[in-house]
Amino acid sequence: MQLLTATLLALLTFGLVSPSRADTCNVRVVFTKGGFIVGVGGGHGVLTCHGKHYRFAVSGMSVGFTIGASTAQLVGHALNVRSPGDIQGSYAAIGASGALAAGAGGVQLQNEKGVILQLAGGKLGVELSAAVGGVTLRLE
C-alpha cells in the first residue's frame, strides 16, 4: 500500500498525471437549409478560442416533415473544447423548429468527443420542420 501511495504521489509531483483542461469557446454559424420531406443544408462558421479564429464548414441533412427554406444566423458557445480540432465531427439533433419571415430559436448539440454546442439566433425565410437530423462540422 505504501508503494502505491508513493508511486501516485510521484506521478502527481512530476506532472505525469494532469487533470483534463477543457475550455469554453465562442461560436458563430450561418446555416442555410431547404427541402421538402428531406431537408439539406450547409454553411460556415467560426470558432474563437483564446483570441484565435478557426473557420469551419457545416453540412447537414434531416428526414421527416420539412418544407421551405431558411437561413439561420446562430451564436453561442462550444463547451468542453480541449483543442480546436475537437469541434469537428458529427452532431445529432432531434427537434422541431419553424420560421415565417423571421423567427428565433436555440439548439444544444453534442459530438462524439464530448463537445457541446449551445447556439441561439434568428432565422429568415419560410420553413417548417419536425425532423430527425444530423450536422457535421469540419475545420477548413
Q: Tell me what pLDDT residue 43 has.
A: 92
**Each residue of 80-105: pLDDT tens digit?**
999 999 999 998 764 444 444 456 66
Positive or negative: CA dihedral 133, 102, 42, 46: negative
Q: Write down the pLDDT at residue 70.
A: 84
- Rounded CA-CA distance 56/136 in Å is 10
pTM of the model: 0.73
Separation between Cα atoms, residue 41 and residue 56, nearest integer Å: 15
CA 76/CA 34 separation, integer angstroms: 23
Collapsed DSSP state (helix, strand, coil) of residue 116: strand
